[in-house]
Amino acid sequence: MKKLFVLLLAFAMVGMVFAEDAKPTVQFSGSVYGAAVGHMDEHQNMVLLWNRNYGWTYDDAFRSRINATFTDGNYGAKIRLQSSDLNLTESTQALVWMKFFDGLLKTKVGKLDDYSYSTWYNYFGNFDGKTGVLVQLAPVDGLSIGAFVPVYGIGNQKNTNKVVITDQTVQNTFKGPTAFAASYTIKDVANIVAGYQLGSVDFVKDRASFWFGADVKAIENLTARVEANLTALGDSTNQKTYIWERVGYKMDALYVQLDADQTLFAKSGAAFGFGVYPCVEYTMGDATFGGSFGYFAANNEGTLDSTTKPLSIYTKAVNGFSVNPYVTLALGAHELSIGGIYEDDDMGADGSSWVRAYAMYTINF
């Protein structure tokens, strides 16, 4: 991968030399994400955390980033250095990109940063941090067709990188999320994305999947989105369909929103999961006051926890709810959010509720 990356970078440099009226630009940016969180469980056990919550876990939750981008017409490069939870800094994005034929064809090579075919809330179909080659074709305005092929080492040959394409019929293959995707934008009407990721029969986590998203923009002040992710396709034990919807409406300083999600399992007897999450916000100057409520039932998550264990299927109903009041302050390019959460993950069960107070911040530079 290193040799390929250096070769493509050399091509980019040659292109810059011969480009007419070249005006190369170099930009630097960065951000810091963190929080102070007090968490108390039902038994009044208290813990103080100095990081923020991503996806209801605290792994790698304190983050600092520095980005550097180079652009010169149809060529460019980007690198992102990131430190998580004050660990050693690593490169989470490092790529070279090139455009051909007046933008008809674009390629990205390296550890990517791409969200061209991603949904907007759950980020299904993003290629951020994935190492490989992304080829994008834009045959008409608004339409983009892409193919991603991963590049990674095989076996103990750490310095050898090979391209591996896997599908559902190949046995004993290394996991490789080769994917094909498309996005279509109808100006002022809707954005649509969809994609299919090939899978390996040997890795439960990497079975074939399909994602879809639609973002409707036809009505002023109305937010209307739907996203779907179908995972472990063809697996009668582990196949899962997750669907998420959002409808919101803005009336001057007032914004009301309703999120909902559903989880369906292919396995017979599995509980149907669903949740509803209404939210209200009111903006006064730089401050936004908000509150959200959530109710969820049955198994609305489920995890593929290893390559050998099947998906944990809950056959009993599990009902829970959460309440989250907050205020968010817009401080120029920065943001501070202060709030609290009360959640009961299984109403009526001992030890299932907890309380959390937080102050989360984002600093951009």
- 281 and 204 in a common domain: no
pLDDT in the model for residue 31 = 93
- Per-residue b/e over 10-20, b at no fewer than 16 CB within 10 Å? eebeeeeeeee
Rounded Cα distance between 247 and 224, Å, is 5
- 276 and 197 in a common domain: no
Asked if 270 and 293 count as a contact pair (C-beta separation under 8 A), the reply is no
Three-class DSSP category at 302 = coil
Residue 254 lies in a domain: yes
Q: Which tokens hold the place of 103?
A: 């933008």
Of 235, 263, 286, which residue is a domain's last? 235
Residue 125 lies in a domain: yes
Asked if 213 and 285 count as a contact pair (C-beta separation under 8 A), the reply is no
pLDDT in the model for residue 345 = 75
- 245 and 214 in a common domain: no
pLDDT in the model for residue 4 = 43
- 361 and 297 in a common domain: yes
Asked if 23 and 72 count as a contact pair (C-beta separation under 8 A), the reply is yes
- 362 and 329 in a common domain: yes
pLDDT in the model for residue 150 = 83
Task: Say how far residue 48 (Cα) sits from the centre of its chain.
Answer: 27
- 261 and 212 in a common domain: no
What's the domain range around 326? 238-365
Of 235, 266, 287, which residue is a domain's last? 235
pLDDT in the model for residue 40 = 82
User: In degrees, to the nearest 5, what angle opens at C-alpha 310 toward C-alphas 211 and 129?
Assistant: 45
Residue 295 lies in a domain: yes
Residue 223 lies in a domain: yes
- 311 and 203 in a common domain: no
pLDDT in the model for residue 190 = 96
Give me the residues of the chain with pLDDT under 50, please.
1, 3-12, 14-20, 55-60, 154-175, 300-316
pLDDT in the model for residue 244 = 94
pLDDT in the model for residue 177 = 67
Asked if 128 and 157 count as a contact pair (C-beta separation under 8 A), the reply is no
Per residue in 267-288, pLDDT (tens digit) is 766 667 888 999 999 999 999 9
Q: Which helix (H) or strand (E) holds 10?
A: helix 2-18
* Longest distance between any two alpha carbons in the chain, whole Å: 71
- 338 and 261 in a common domain: yes
Residue 273 lies in a domain: yes
- DSSP for 33-68 reads EEEEEEEEETT--EEEESS--BTTB-TT-SEEEEEE
Residue 131 lies in a domain: yes
- 360 and 312 in a common domain: yes
Asked if 276 and 317 count as a contact pair (C-beta separation under 8 A), the reply is no
Under the phi-then-psi rule, with left for phi > 0, alpha for psi from -120 to 50, and beta for the rest, what region is 104? Answer: alpha
- 323 and 243 in a common domain: yes
Nearest to 72 by CA among 95, 97, 53: 97
The residues with which 210 forms a beta bridge, in sequence order, are 196, 230
Residue 81 lies in a domain: no
Residue 226 lies in a domain: yes
Provide the 8-state DSSP code for 324.
Answer: E
- Give the chain's domain count: 2
- 319 and 210 in a common domain: no
Task: Say how far residue 91 (Cα) sits from the centre of its chain.
Answer: 18
Under the phi-then-psi rule, with left for phi > 0, alpha for psi from -120 to 50, and beta for the rest, what region is 318? Answer: beta
Q: Which helix (H) or strand (E) holds 18?
A: helix 2-18
Of 235, 262, 283, which residue is a domain's last? 235
- 243 and 222 in a common domain: no
